[in-house]
């Protein structure tokens, strides 16, 4: 085992970064990206004296391109294995999008014994994205079927269309596209495995995190862009905040799903205030 990977019980290698010392902050990336999506946060919080940790979810980035385990229980168990390996105590777990679901499941099921101090959900998928009888405001299954079709037909093109359009709000009038951001999203996505990315669509869209949210006993900051076109705010952040016992809800007018990249200065300042407050 090299110092930048752990091997889980089913033999999957999970890549991680572990920089600095001090109170640990663990960053959980969105679909279909990698720990590199947190560059702006990792560097910022490292400079503030924190220990910053981020992993590539199984099948994503530099972790094993396994064909199994692409659902939230296994994702959370992988994080628990990493936290145990690094002996993390009093950590802050920050999750974006799919990573927010991972944080909710991890903290609810594995976050006891002083391992977790606080949690943050940014543009996160909980409580549940899919439209159901119990969640009439959700997105219809046809939306996610469309994702699967586009991925299977031409993943490389799909992974251009998402970041150049709705992910960062570059499809909005007057918003200038940042080519490096689009290219970096594509680079991260194409590093991962097609099977993992295909299966993860079901994991992020159909998992119901309602009971996870109710069980989280640590202070939790819920941050969401009001112009989020990937995880629409009306059916996510306010509902999560109502379910969480100790929630603070902060929304951002006009900001997109990928606001931690496009507006890192704003997001980092608010994260710091919550973490140190």
Which one is catalytic: 34, 63, 97, 164?
Answer: 97
pLDDT of the residue at 112: 85
257 is catalytic: yes
Contact indicator for 225, 125 with CB cutoff of 8 Å: no
Which residue range is the domain that position 111 belongs to?
5-276
Which one is catalytic: 60, 70, 197, 257?
Answer: 257
pLDDT of the residue at 113: 84
Number of domains in the chain: 1
Contact indicator for 108, 211 with CB cutoff of 8 Å: yes
pLDDT of the residue at 188: 98
Which one is catalytic: 18, 212, 227, 228?
Answer: 228
Describe the strand order of the beta sheet including 220-225 as a list of residue ranges: 5-7, 13-19, 51-55, 24-28, 91-96, 116-122, 220-225, 247-252
87 is catalytic: no
* pTM higher than 0.95: yes
Those residues of the chain that have pLDDT short of 70 are 1-2
175 exposure class (CB count in 10 Å sphere: 0-12, 13-18, 19+):
middle
CATH number, residue 144: 3.40.50.1820
228 is catalytic: yes
């Amino acid at each position: 085992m090299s110092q930048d990977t752990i091997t889980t019980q089913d033999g999957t290698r999970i890549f991680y970064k572990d920089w600095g010392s001090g109170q640990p902050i663990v960053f959980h990336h969105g679909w279909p990206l990698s720990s590199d999506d947190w560059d702006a946060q990792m560097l910022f919080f490292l400079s503030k004296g924190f220990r910053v940790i981020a992993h590539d979810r199984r099948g994503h980035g530099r972790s094993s391109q396994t064909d199994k385990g692409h659902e939230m229980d296994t994702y959370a168990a992988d994080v628990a294995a990493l936290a145990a390996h690094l002996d993390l105590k009093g950590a802050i777990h920050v999750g974006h999008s799919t990573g927010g679901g991972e944080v909710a499941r991890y903290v609810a099921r594995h976050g006891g014994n002083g391992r977790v101090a606080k949690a943050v959900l940014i543009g996160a998928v909980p409580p549940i994205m899919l439209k159901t009888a119990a969640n009439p405001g959700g997105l219809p299954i046809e939306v996610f079927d469309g994702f699967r079709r586009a991925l299977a037909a031409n993943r490389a093109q799909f992974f251009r269309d998402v970041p150049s359009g709705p992910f960062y709000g570059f499809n909005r009038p007057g918003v200038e596209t940042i080519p490096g951001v689009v290219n970096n999203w594509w680079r991260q996505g194409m590093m991962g495995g097609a099977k993992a990315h295909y299966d993860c669509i079901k994991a992020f869209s159909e998992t119901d995190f309602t009971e996870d949210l109710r069980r989280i006993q640590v202070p939790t900051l819920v941050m969401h862009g009001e112009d989020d076109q990937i995880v629409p705010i009306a059916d996510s952040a306010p509902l999560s905040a109502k379910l969480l016992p100790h929630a603070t809800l902060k929304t951002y007018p006009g900001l997109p799903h990928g606001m931690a990249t496009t507006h890192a200065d704003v997001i980092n300042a608010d994260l710091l205030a919550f973490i140190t407050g």
